[in-house]
């Protein structure tokens, strides 16, 4: 019975971890010429303030900008101080979410001690839990006409137990996954 309880708790924890997947989306202007893009710069020296102290954080800003620059440099784009082909700006948000995970419990029919009458059955139940979801949106703006040409977004459950190194690595991976879809058709 103790072994069963440990397995049930482990199954519940694994089910909860399975909900922390990352969602990556992108959209773009089909009329934009992405083949002419070679150099980039940040749209603003400082990100607009969100009012959330977790997001208005110079350390987070450095992690995000570094991850974006690393991913773009790996694709052959060059950071330019003057006359870039495209400009970058990001938006970050944290929202409170509720998710539901299923757990299974073995229920025994009536009986006493080790003497049960009937066949035990598995009963599933839904267990809601609250979590925080982080969102990062990256906009690529044509520097000539200042039009949005590409937008990528990524969302994932925040890990409150992550160390600063783990957070930086997770941002790096998330941005790399998002920019795998830039330019359009690159992931195909």
CATH architecture of 23-99+127-179: 2-Layer Sandwich (3.30)
> C-alpha angle with apex 86: 186 to 156, nearest 5 degrees?
60
Lowest mean pLDDT of 35-44, 49-58, 81-90, 108-117, name the range.
Answer: 108-117
Instruction: Kindly report, residue by residue over 12-71, the tens digit of the pLDDT.
Output: 333 333 445 789 999 999 999 999 999 999 997 677 788 888 888 999 999 999 999 999
Distance CA 160, CA 134 (A): 11
Residue ranges with strand state E in 63-187 = 78-79, 86-107, 111-112, 115-116, 121-142, 148-157
Query: Torsion over CA of 134, 92, 178 and 28, rounded to 10 degrees?
Result: 130
What percentage of the chain reaches a pLDDT higher than 90? Answer: 61
Q: Where are the domains of the chain?
A: 23-99+127-179
């Amino acid at each position: 019975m103790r072994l069963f309880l440990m397995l049930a708790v482990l199954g519940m924890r694994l089910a909860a971890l399975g909900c922390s997947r990352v969602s990556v989306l992108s959209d773009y202007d089909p009329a934009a010429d992405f083949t002419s893009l070679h150099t980039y710069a940040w749209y603003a020296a400082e990100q607009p303030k969100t009012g959330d102290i977790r997001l208005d954080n110079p350390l987070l800003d450095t992690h995000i900008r570094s991850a974006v620059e690393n991913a773009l440099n790996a694709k052959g784009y060059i950071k330019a101080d003057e006359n870039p082909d495209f400009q970058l700006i990001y938006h970050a948000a944290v929202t409170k979410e509720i998710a539901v995970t299923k757990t299974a419990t073995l229920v025994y029919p009536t009986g006493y001690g080790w003497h049960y009458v009937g066949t035990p059955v598995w009963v599933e139940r839904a267990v809601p839990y609250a979590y925080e979801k982080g969102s990062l949106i990256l906009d690529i703006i044509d520097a000539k006409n200042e039009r949005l040409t590409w937008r990528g977004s990524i969302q994932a459950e925040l890990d409150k137990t992550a160390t600063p190194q783990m957070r930086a690595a997770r941002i790096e991976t998330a941005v790399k996954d998002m920019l795998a879809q830039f330019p359009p058709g690159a992931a195909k």
